[in-house]
């Protein structure tokens, strides 16, 4: 899934709210996107991969959560590792209470 040039503010609600979540083998690309004011985590990645570039993650309790075998890297290019979550240097984390967190409750996948 690729998301480009989208601004998203999540509703402030309880539960496992995430601006966007990549679950169970998803390959996520965020480019030129803004994720702000999520009730929980801005970007949640679980057992998946992601490449996040030219993106702003702001004003969330947690900026990004990476768990269940996924690992966090900072580099300019995507990785071929199916569980690498790559944050490009052009991505900014602004005014989140915590930038990175490990295990958090994940949303239920839509089938």
DSSP class of residue 99? E
pTM exceeds 0.75 for this model: yes
Q: CB neighbours (10 Å) of residue 28?
A: 19
Return the domain boundaries, the chain: 2-9+17-99
Question: What is the arithmetic mean of pLDDT over 23-51?
Answer: 93
CB 73 within 8 A of CB 85: yes
CB 19 within 8 A of CB 35: yes
Q: Single out the residue of 12, 30, 75 nearest to residue 20, CA to CA.
A: 30
pLDDT in tens, 73-91: 999 999 999 999 999 999 9
């Amino acid at each position: 899934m690729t998301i480009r040039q989208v601004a998203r503010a999540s509703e402030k609600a309880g539960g496992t709210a995430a601006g966007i979540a990549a679950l169970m083998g998803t390959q996520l690309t965020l480019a030129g996107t803004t994720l702000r004011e999520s009730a929980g985590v801005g970007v949640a990645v679980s057992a998946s991969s992601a490449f996040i570039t030219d993106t702003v993650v702001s004003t969330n309790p947690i900026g990004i959560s990476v768990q269940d075998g996924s690992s966090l890297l900072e580099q300019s290019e995507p990785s071929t590792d199916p569980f690498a979550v790559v944050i490009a240097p052009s991505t900014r984390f602004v005014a989140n209470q915590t930038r990175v967190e490990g295990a958090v409750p994940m949303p239920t996948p839509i089938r």
